[in-house]
Amino acid sequence: MQDTSGQGQNSQQHPTDTTGVGAAADHTSNRLPELSGNGSFGRPTPRHDGTLKVTGQARYAADHPIRRVVHAVAIQSTIANGRVKNIDASAAEKAPGFLAILHHGKAPKLYRPSNDFMSATKPGEIRVVFEDDRVYYAGQYIALVVAETLQQANYAASLVKIEYDFLHPVIDTDQAMNTVYDPEQFFGEKLTAQRGDPDGSYAAAAVKHEATYSTPLEHHNPMEPSASMAEWNGDELTLYETTQWVVGARNTVAETLGVPQEKVHIVSPFIGGGFGCKGFIWPHSVLSAIASRQVGRPVKLNLTRKQMFSACGHRSETRQKVRLGAAADGKLTSIFHDTLVQTSPVDEFIESCGTTTEMLYSCPNVGIAHHAVRVNIATPTPMRAPGENPGTYALESALDELAYKLKIDPVELRIRNHADTNEHTKQPWSSKYLKDCYRMAAEKFGWSKRNPEPRSMRDGKLLVGWGMATATYPGMRNPGAAKVRILQDGSATVVSATQDMGGGTYTTMVQVVSDALGIPVERIQSTLGDSMLPPAPVSGGSMTTASVLPAIRKACEQALTKLVQTAIGDENSPMHGKKEDEITAQNGRVFVKGSSPSSGNTYAEVLASKKMAAVEGEGFLQPGEERKKYAFQSFGAQFVEVKIDPEIARARVTRVVSAFDVGKVVNPTTARSQGYSGIIMGIGMALMEHTIYDDRDGSIVNSNLADYAVPVNADVPDLEVLFVDKPDPYIDDQGIGARGIGEITITGVAAAVANAVYHATGQRIRDLPITPDKLLQV
C-alpha cells in the first residue's frame, strides 16, 4: 500500500483565489483569538448536560409537569388496504374517565402543509391525519381516544369497534412492479445521471463484475419512543415534543392547523435518540394539539414501541444492481449502479443509494438510476445516512469482489481509484484526507498481516475474516443563528433553536463560547430545543456542527465588540477614549493591545462600572459562494474482523478500527461516542436488523425489541475510532473548520462486515442481514 498524496497533507492543491471567495477564509479578528485549542475547543470535554441525564433531571417530551394533563391513546388500522366502514364508540363513551374521541368523521379541519424542506415545512407524510376514510397501510391512525388517565384511555380505546371494507394489500416488491416508476430527484439531487459511456466501456472492460445486493426494511428504534404533549393558552399552542427539528415542527404544525407560526411554540430540550425518525413531523404532533383544543385540557400522547414501527417512518428495503468494469491494473473504467426501492401510496421518500457512486471513485464512465414501487406500507423517512448507508454497502461489496477477481489488495484497489476531485460536480474538494484514513486504520488494524486467501485464517475452530470498506457522507451546512450574552458576573449564555439528541451539541456550543470569550466552560450555560430561540436547521444530514457553531462564534465577536465599546465609553476605564482597533478582548479581560491583560478590566468590571446587566451578540451565517467552488465531503475507512463458528453458523464481529476525516474535531470525547454509535448500528444492519411484514394483512410481525434484534453490549466488540483532525478551510468563515460526524460513522460498516464474512468463509452473502440461516451452507 502506497500513499503518494503526501501523508498528513491535503491530497489536492487548491487554486489561488485573490477575491477572498473560495480561498481559505481570513479568520483573524480584532476581538477573537484563533481557535487554536488553547481552551476547550478541540479537546476532550465532559458532556455539559451529563449530570442532568445521569441524575434523572433531564426532561424529555413526556416528562414535563403540566397541571390537569389528560391522556390520549391512538387507535391504528388493523388492515393495510381498504376503507373504514364504521366506527362504533358507544361503549367507549360510557367508560370511566372518557373525554373525547376523534376520527375522520369527527375532527376539525386540517390542512396539508407546504411539504417544502427548505422552508422548514416537512411532514413525514403529506396526507393529513383523518383526511378521509381510506386505509393505505397497517398502523395508520384511525381514531384517538382521550381520557383522564392513561389506563382509562387505553381501556376506552379497547372498546371502540371499527368495521372495514378490506382490500388485499401489496407488500412485496415483486408484486408491486406494476406500479414501478423513476423518481426525478431527492432533495434536489437528480436520481438519474450519466457521464461518459458506462455500457460501452463495461463491454470492453478487461475485468468485469456484476451482482445484485439487497438490504431489508429497517426501523430506527431510538431508546425514547416519540411523544407529544399539547397545551393551549387562548389561541397559542405549546407543544412539548421529541423532535430533531423544533423550527420545522413549529412551521409544519402551524400550517396543518391553519394558525400563524408565531402562535405555535415547540419545546424539545432533550431527545432520547432519533436517527432520523424524529426529523420530519408526524401525525401524533397534530393529534395532541387538536385533542387538547377539543377537551380544553393539556393532552399527553405517548407512542408505544409497537406504534413506533408504523407511525414514524423506516428505511425502505433496497435492491441494488452494481456493475463494475476495470482494466487489468485495477483502474475502474465503468460503474453502473441501479437501485429499486419501496415507497408508500400516500407520499414519496426515496433511498438514494446511487448518488454516492457518482463521485466516490475516479472513473470516466458512470451511470446511476433509481426506481420505486408503491406498497401498502407507511412512508419511509431518513434513517442514519439515508442513501449513503445502503448505497455504500452495495458499492463497497462489489469493489471487494472486483479486488478478488483482479488479485489486488482491497485497500490498494481503492487507492488506485482515488478521486482527486469530485468528478460528478467537477469541483475540487474543500479538503480530503481519505488516503490518510486508509493508512491510519490499516496500520492500527494490522492489515499487512492479512492472508488474502478466503478461509485461510483461523482461531482454533473459528473461521477468521478481515474486511474493509470506505466510509463517506456529504459535508452539509444550512443557515444557522445564535445569541451569546456576557453577564455582569462574568459568566455567559449561548442559545440557538438547534437540538441535541445525544451527539453533544450542548457541549460543543459551550466549547466555542469558552474558547472565543476565554470564560471557563463551567461558567457558560447553553440552551437549545426551543422554537422561540434564533433559528437553526434540522439535526439531520450531519449539518448541525457546520451550521450552528460558526454562528455562535460570530455572536461572540459581536458581544465582545459591544463590550469593548462599553469600556471605551467608560470614563473610569483605562481604555477610555481609545479606538476600537486598539483594544482586544480575550481570556475574560478587555485591555489595550500590546499591554498586559492585567492592565485592563475583567468583563464583569466593565459591565458593573456602567451598571449593565449584560451585552448580547447575535450571529447568523449561511452557505455562500464557497458551495459553488468546492465539493464538501467527509471520508473514512472501516476495518472489521469477524469470527464465525461453522458448527452453529454464528458470526460475531470481534474487532473494528475506523478512521475518519471530518475536518476539525471539536470535542474528541463526544465525536468518538458518535463513532461508536454509528459502528454499532452498522453491525446491527449487517447481522441482525430486519423488519418482517405479514403479506396477508400488512401487519408487522416483529414490532417489538424482543423480536426486532439490535446489538446489545454482548454484541459490541473492541472498537477503536481515529480522526485525521485537520480543519476544512472552506466550510465556514469563522475558523471552526468542522463537518458533522453523526452519519458518516455508519457508512461502510455493513460492507466491511460482509467482506470479512467472505474472507472468513469463501461464501459471498449479498442479502442483508447475514443471519445464521444464510451461513448454514458455509
Q: How far is it, in rounded angstroms, from Cα 753 to Cα 537?
A: 33
d(CA 316, CA 196): 30
Number of C-beta neighbours around residue 462 at 10 A = 18
In 3D space, the residue among 753, 726, 44 whose CA is nearest the CA of residue 437 turns out to be 726
Q: Rounded to the nearest 10 degrees, how much is the dihedral formed by the CA atoms of 669, 671, 675, 676?
A: 30
Kindly list the catalytic residues.
743
Angle formed at CA 729 by CA 669 and CA 589, multiple of 5 degrees: 65
Angstrom distance (rounded) from CA 765 to CA 778: 10
- With b meaning 16 or more CB within 10 Å and e meaning fewer, what string describes 18-35? eeeebbbbebebebbbeb
φ, ψ of residue 429 in degrees (nearest 5): -75, 145
Residue with cell 431518513: 382
Radius of gyration of the chain (CA): 28
Q: Which among 547, 430, 417 is positioned nearest to 120, based on CA atoms?
A: 547
CB 642 within 8 A of CB 651: yes
Distance of alpha carbon 138 from alpha carbon 123, whole angstroms: 19
Beta carbons of 322 and 213 less than 8 angstroms apart: yes
How big is the CA angle at 221 (ends 711 and 499), to the nearest 5 degrees?
115
**DSSP state, residue 572:** T
Alpha carbon 243 to its chain's center: 12
What DSSP designation does 767 have?
B
Helices (H) and strands (E) in the chain, counts: 17, 31
Q: How far apart are CA 41 and CA 598, in angstroms?
A: 24
Q: Which of 40, 26, 25 minimizes the C-alpha distance to 587?
A: 40
For residues 287 and 302, the answer to whether their CB atoms sit within 8 Å is no
Alpha-carbon distance of 689 to 234, in angstroms, equals 46
> In one letter, which amino acid is 776?
L
Q: Which of 615, 602, 368, 337 is nearest to 486 (CA)?
A: 615
Order the strands of the 614-621 sheet from edge to edge.
Answer: 524-527, 492-495, 480-487, 614-621
Half-sphere exposure at residue 317, Cβ-oriented, CA atoms within 13 angstroms? 21
Paired strand residues for 592: 583
DSSP letters, 633-688, are EEEEEEEEEEEEETTTTEEEEEEEEEEEE-BS-S-HHHHHHHHHHHHHHHHHHHHT
Of residues 739, 747, 746, 769, the one with CA closest to residue 757: 769
- C-alpha–C-alpha distance, residues 754 and 400, integer Å: 10
> 246 in helix, strand or coil?
helix
Three-state secondary structure readout of 73-128: EEEECCCCCEEEEEEECHHHHCCCCEEEEEECCECCCCCCCCCEHHHCECECCCCC
Q: Give DSSP secondary structure letters for 174-221.
A: GGGGGG-B---EETTEESSEEES-HHHHHHT-SEEEEEEEEE--B---
| Residue linked to cell 475547543 | 41
Partnered with residue 146 across adjacent β-strands are 72, 100
